[in-house]
Chains A and B, each alone.
Chain A
Amino acid sequence: MELRDKLVLITGGARGIGRAVVEQCAARGARPAVFDIDADALADLRKALTTDVHTYTCDVADPEQVASQIETLTQQLGPVHVLVNNAGLVHNQLLLNFGPTGLESYDATAWQRVINTNLNAVFYMTATTARQMLATRTRGVIVNISSICAAGNLGQCAYSAAKAGVDALTVTWAKELSRFGIRVVGVAPGFTETDRALSTMSADVIADWKTRTPLRRMATPAEIAAAVTFTIENDFFNGRVLPIDGGLRI
């Protein structure tokens, strides 16, 4: 799909990988729209970009907000051609930890939050957007941002499980929606130099991951965004998750 003039909706697009996707889509003449929970970050994005970007404050883990904001967006801008499910969050904790009070389990509230944002939100966004694509006979692309952690990363059980679920959804929805001209694809970044990654990992941990990565460095958000635009523009890429990990295997 050629990106020029297409409406591309990116969740979590105010910063990090999502923001790089916004920038690269805009550079190709697409019309980017962003859902993000952080209204201040959205304001910063609007100020920073030299091209138009349509922003909507939305908690994508809330199905009612998703339905309402997609309705608003499509009324204002028309049908969505590309959805990039990028919004996510990480919680680092072992299943069992020795704490001050003895053996503690992974926090159940954190588990729910991580699954809601990284997995359930992908379902809410895609179900609503794909329905709208079908209703308007719009040929489209759904891009799910997965992670190298889908293979199972120590200390990130909820995030790993959510991303493995996202990979399964990518394959399943490609089988269901391709007949209607809707491709469903995934991109699985390795460790990437986003503010979130740099703030949640210690310097030692970052150094360790760089050492274990054959290319001896982290990805830049722009490198991941380039993979996203590739999956949008290549019309034969479908039902697969493209790893962009510098050769690292977890």
Chain B
Amino acid sequence: MAEDLDTRLYELLSNLLGLPADEITDESSMKTVRAWDSLKHMELIFALEQTFDLPQLSTDEIVEMTSVERIRTVLREKCACV
């Protein structure tokens, strides 16, 4: 299940940020990926909620989820698919 979550997450990030999936790592973040600006970040949040059927993410969570590692942590806490 965790592998499936990673695959779906990387696919979503790849499509949204316009990056090959194999270039995305846990360290990828708003600081390291040029296309990941604040507008794209909100788009990512909306896409995560829809793709993983999450309850609405809080402002604090949205502010924290600025790296792939942090996004995965939140997904594992909140996603019923894990």
Q: Is the interface of B mostly helix, strand, loop or mixed?
A: helix
Please measure, in the bound complex, the distance between the C-alpha atom of A1 and the C-alpha atom of B45, giving whole angstroms.
23
B 31-60 binary contact with A (CB < 8 Å = 1; else 0): 000000001001100100100000010010
Sorting the interface of chain A by its residue count into under 10, 10 to 19, 20 to 34 or 35 or more gives: under 10
- A137 to B, closest residue via Cβ: B56
- A134 to B, closest residue via Cβ: B42
- A180 to B, closest residue via Cβ: B46
Is there a chain B Cβ closer than 8 Å to A176's Cβ? yes
Q: How many residues of B contact A (CB 8 A)?
A: 7
Please measure, in the bound complex, the distance between the C-alpha atom of A134 and the C-alpha atom of B38, giving whole angstroms.
14
Is there contact, CB below 8 Å, between B39 and A176?
A: yes
- Kindly list chain A residues whose C-beta atoms are within 8 Å of the C-beta of B59: 135
Is there contact, CB below 8 Å, between A137 and B42?
A: no
Q: Which of chain A's residues 130-151 have a Cβ closer than 8 Å to chain B?
A: 134-135, 137
In the assembled complex, the CB of A203 is this many whole angstroms from the nearest CB of chain B, namely: 51
- Kindly list chain B residues whose C-beta atoms are within 8 Å of the C-beta of A179: 39, 43, 46
In the assembled complex, the CB of A156 is this many whole angstroms from the nearest CB of chain B, namely: 35
Interface residues of B, Cβ cutoff 8 Å to A: 39, 42-43, 46, 49, 56, 59
Q: Known pairs A134-B42, A137-B46. 9 more at Cβ < 8 A? A: A135-B59, A137-B49, A137-B56, A176-B39, A179-B39, A179-B43, A179-B46, A180-B42, A180-B46
Interface residues of A, Cβ cutoff 8 Å to B: 134-135, 137, 176, 179-180
